[in-house]
Amino acid sequence: MLDSYNRNINYLRISVTDRCNLRCLYCMPEEGFKLLKHEEILSYEEIIEVVNIAVDLGITKVRITGGEPLVRKGIIDFIKMISKNKGLDEVTMTTNGILLSDFATSLVEAGLSRINISLDTIDAKKFYDITRGGDLNKVIAGIEAIQKAGISQIKVNCVIKKSSKEPDAKAVKAFCDSKGIQARFIHQMNLEKGQFSIVEGGSGGDCHNCNRLRLTANGKIKPCLFSDLEFDVRKLGAKNAIIKAIGEKPASGTYNNSGNFYNIGG
Ligand code: SAM
Ligand code: SF4
């Protein structure tokens, strides 16, 4: 479906949870934040209903994200269900990779077509610090497992401070090159301050060509990451919420005071 600026909206990012097994410095506070109540979180059946309607309205690609999607129970069966929709060309996921080695084969068998794994450094101590406790070896094992499982494409998302030439970014690039994986560099953003920029090696942050909608774990369709606009699928019904979100998708982002990456889905 075309929005008011003639952009073809065909991509839906679905956050299946606001929970995460890491606490990245730039994404989530360590403590003192409010998680969604279980009854607020959409059931998988509700998400599938939104996806089916979204596909009727022109969505052809979905990305499953979070929070950390692999911490939600039943994620493999959910991917199996979603992959049955013949209108979807691609079912993809963004994960921190910590649990990936446990799920790699089942993810591919369930129909996941591509995966993005977040990795900002290949220095174990720095990784531990950035993620407040994460084990780099688990992510590397996860990357190797999903490669072995034979997924068609793996990308690494690397958050940078200033440039893709900074030492950690260069080391991540060298690691990716050695594995035949593409690295994408994402400038650290600030939703509240409206600080965002184009993803190097990706399509995020390019408002002119933005083709995305987001579905939050509690059922809000968000037309733009950098806007407070949201349309509740439980209150409005999925079809209305999607049509309104596409109709009101802003020309470009400003700022967002109503959420963070972990509860909107990056
Ligand atoms: N937990 C999964 C992960 O980390 O890949 C999926 C959700 S996470 C919110 C999705 C992406 O958002 C990750 O690649 C992460 O690096 C990115 N992200 C989180 N906070 C960010 C920020 N402040 N600026 C830029 N990217 C951010
Ligand atoms: Fe969790 Fe991903 Fe946010 Fe890190 S970036 S805290 S892994 S949701």
146-201 confidence digits (pLDDT tens) = 999 999 899 999 999 888 899 999 999 999 999 999 999 999 988 777 676 666 66
In this predicted model, what pLDDT tens digit does every residue of 198-247 receive, in sequence order? 666 666 668 899 999 999 999 999 999 889 999 999 999 999 999 999 99
In a domain, 106, yes or no: yes
Q: How far apart are the first and last CA of the chain?
A: 22
Q: Is 38 inside any structural domain? A: yes
Residue 100, helix vs strand vs coil: helix
Q: Looking up tokens 């929709």, which residue turns up?
A: 85
80 lines ligand 2 (CB under 6 A): no
CA nearest to 126, candidates 58, 25, 29, 200: 25
Q: Is residue 1 part of a domain?
A: no
| Contact in structure between 95 and 45 (CB atoms under 8 Å) | no
- pLDDT attached to residue 198: 65
Q: pLDDT category, 260, cuts 50, 70, 90?
A: confident
Of ligand 2's atoms, which has the minimum distance to the CA of residue 20? 1
The total number of residues written for the chain in this structure: 266
Alpha helices in 132-207 (DSSP H): 136-149, 167-179
Q: What range does the domain containing 175 cover?
A: 11-264
Contact at 8 Å (CB) between 114 and 89? no
When divided into structural domains, the chain yields a total of: 1
Judge whether 2 lies within some domain: no
pLDDT for 197: 67
Alpha carbon distances (Å) from 45 to 14, 36, 59, 212: 13, 18, 18, 22
Atom of ligand 2 at shortest range from CA of 262: 8
**130 pLDDT higher than 80:** yes
Out of 24, 120, 159, give the residue to mutate to test ligand 2, the one with the largest number of ligand atoms within 8 Å of its CB: 24
Residue 80 has pLDDT above 90, yes or no: yes
Instruction: For residue 56, tell me if it sits in a domain.
Output: yes
Residue carrying structure tokens 């260069």: 170
Q: What does pTM read for this prediction?
A: 0.95
Task: Determine the number of helices (DSSP H) and then strands (DSSP E) in the chain.
Answer: 9, 9
- The CATH number of whichever domain residue 90 belongs to comes to 3.20.20.70
Whether 59 maps to a domain, the answer reads yes
- pLDDT in the model for residue 109: 98
Residue 6 within any structural domain of the chain: no
**114-118 and 182-187 beta bridge pairing:** unpaired
In a domain, 41, yes or no: yes
Ligand 2: centre distance to CA 255 (Å) = 20
Give SS3 for 77. Answer: helix
CA distance linking residue 17 with residue 168, whole number of Å? 29
Cβ 51 vs Cβ 62: under 8 Å: yes
CA distance 217 to 51: 13
Q: Is the CB of 22 under 6 A from ligand 2?
A: yes
Selection from 61, 78, 66 nearest residue 11 by Cα: 61
